[in-house]
């Protein structure tokens, strides 16, 4: 079996830094700790051993309670554990008391994105930069709202990856005095794991209350839920605001469904493993790995990874940023959100895709995603059972309520594709063309 790639190892080093996951060579098996080895720093009991294991090309997590693990100098060694695969990385960590989980999620959020609040996008001789906002200006405003595990810089990175994207950034940055459409272009940074979209929307409402004139929005992923709560719950006078929901889980995502929490985190780890070797997506791999390993620590501290649905529901409730997105029929936040829209706002638009990758490099795909006739009762660890863009169910991206959707004529639908997915929408020329058309920029 092939050794893990150096790129994955390096990404894991960065991803777990500061999360109190000490690298270990203790071998975790389903029967217990097979042997005691050395770790980087002393830890006090109770301890857990968490292994990320490559099982025939698919990354899986294995967890064992390890109260007697020794401490001392770090060593590295590949070994085989209960799942029958090759260990990619082993960790030791102290159990998180329930009272500390909120603080830990804040640490994870700060690692993913230390920025908070409004920033201003400005075009300079070196390209687009984000800086502290100036005084609010009269006229139309454009606002970017990022998604889960992300930050406002992700928009800049995606647009800067292509010439048409750089042109778009330069165009929207032009002030009205130079023929531009916007008096100011702003971004909103917020916590996405330990805080629900409702609370993000409350913060956004306070941060934008002094801005005069209409505010157009480009929101990605979970940022779509933040935007919906903000506009329909805290700013009902949004009027002629134009909003583009890009890959937004308006009706939730199966990736955040509590019964499949362990499988979802494994799925995220496998996505990161693919991205780590891609030039334009390597930077996305680290936050994905941070979330996967960080939240596995939370799950393992509270219960076993093989726990049943009631316990996993309780664990998910401790992670409000994810719980609010769960594509389940009794999600209270999504149910309330859908009741706030009386009719489909005429200036709301969508961007969506159904990602079906080439089997090469995506060996794990059918382990977690099966559609249509391939679904069987035995497929208990599936994450997606319907069309999706890698992160969000495609059908959720235009659903405003059970009876209302963003119309197809106002949706850029990439259809079934092996090229366009949740993390590269803004690199596509069709996306920048659509945004230009919708926003009416020159």
The rounded percent of the chain whose pLDDT value lies above 70 is 85
Average pLDDT of the residues in 411-431: 97
Q: What integer pLDDT is reported at residue 127 of this predicted model? A: 85
Distance CA 188, CA 205 (A): 11
| Contact assessment for residue 199 and residue 307, using Cβ atoms and an 8 Å cutoff | no
Distance CA 420, CA 224 (A): 19
34 pLDDT tier (thresholds 50, 70, 90): very low
Q: What integer pLDDT is reported at residue 358 of this predicted model? A: 84
Six token digits for residue 212: 């005069």
pLDDT digits (tens, 9 = 90+) for 102-135: 999 999 999 999 999 999 999 988 889 999 998 9
Q: What integer pLDDT is reported at residue 200 of this predicted model? A: 98
**Domain extents for the chain?**
6-95+258-323, 107-254+329-439
What does the mean pLDDT of the chain come to? 86
Distance CA 7, CA 93 (A): 24
341 pLDDT more than 80: no
409 pLDDT more than 90: yes
Inter-CA distances, 389 with 73, 195, 255, 260, 430, Å? 43, 24, 11, 18, 16
Q: What integer pLDDT is reported at residue 345 of this predicted model? A: 84
Residues 6+ apart with CB under 8 A from 383: 254, 255, 260, 263, 264, 267, 368, 369
39 pLDDT more than 50: no
Sign of torsion over alpha carbons 307, 310, 316, 317:
negative
Six token digits for residue 85: 């695969």
Six token digits for residue 82: 């209960």
Distance CA 18, CA 27 (A): 23
Q: Taking the domain 107-254+329-439, which CATH number applies?
A: 3.40.50.1820
């Amino acid at each position: 079996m092939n050794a893990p790639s150096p790129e994955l190892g390096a990404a894991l080093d960065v991803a777990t830094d500061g999360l109190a996951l000490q690298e270990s060579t203790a071998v975790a098996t389903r029967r217990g700790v097979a042997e005691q080895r050395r770790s980087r720093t002393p830890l006090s009991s109770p301890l857990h051993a968490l292994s990320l294991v490559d099982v025939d090309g698919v990354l899986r997590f294995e967890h064992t309670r390890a109260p007697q693990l020794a401490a001392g100098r770090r060593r590295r060694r590949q070994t085989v554990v209960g799942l029958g695969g090759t260990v990619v990385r082993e960790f030791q960590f102290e159990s998180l008391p329930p009272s500390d989980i909120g603080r830990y999620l804040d640490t994870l959020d700060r690692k993913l994105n230390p920025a908070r609040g409004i920033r201003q996008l400005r075009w300079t001789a070196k390209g687009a930069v984000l800086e502290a906002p100036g005084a609010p200006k009269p006229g139309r405003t454009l606002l970017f709202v990022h998604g889960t595990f992300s930050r406002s810089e992700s928009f800049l990175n995606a647009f800067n990856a292509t010439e048409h994207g750089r042109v778009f950034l330069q165009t929207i940055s032009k002030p009205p005095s130079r023929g531009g459409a916007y008096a100011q272009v702003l971004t909103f940074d917020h916590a996405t794991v330990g805080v629900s979209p409702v609370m993000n929307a409350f913060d956004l409402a306070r941060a934008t209350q002094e801005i005069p004139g209409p505010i157009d929005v480009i929101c990605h992923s979970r940022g779509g839920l933040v935007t919906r709560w903000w506009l329909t719950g805290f700013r009902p006078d949004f009027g002629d605001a134009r909003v583009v929901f890009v890959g937004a889980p308006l009706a939730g995502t199966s990736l955040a469904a509590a019964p499949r929490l362990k499988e979802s985190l494994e799925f995220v780890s496998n996505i990161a493993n693919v991205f780590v070797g891609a030039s334009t997506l390597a930077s996305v791999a680290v936050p994905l790995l941070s979330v996967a390993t960080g939240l596995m620590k939370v799950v393992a501290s509270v219960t076993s990874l093989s726990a049943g649905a009631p316990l996993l529901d309780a664990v998910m409730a401790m992670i409000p940023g994810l719980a609010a997105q769960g594509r389940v029929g009794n999600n209270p936040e999504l149910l309330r959100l859908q009741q706030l829209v009386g009719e489909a706002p005429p200036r709301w638009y969508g961007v969506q895709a159904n990602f079906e990758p080439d089997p090469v490099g995506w060996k794990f795909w059918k382990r977690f995603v099966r559609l249509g006739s391939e679904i069987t009762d035995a497929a208990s660890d599936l994450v997606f059972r319907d069309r999706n863009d890698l992160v969000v169910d495609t059908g959720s991206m235009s659903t405003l309520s059970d009876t209302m959707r963003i119309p197809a004529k106002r949706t850029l639908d990439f259809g079934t594709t092996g090229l366009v997915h949740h993390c590269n929408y803004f690199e596509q020329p069709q996306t920048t063309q659509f945004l230009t058309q919708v926003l009416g920029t020159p």
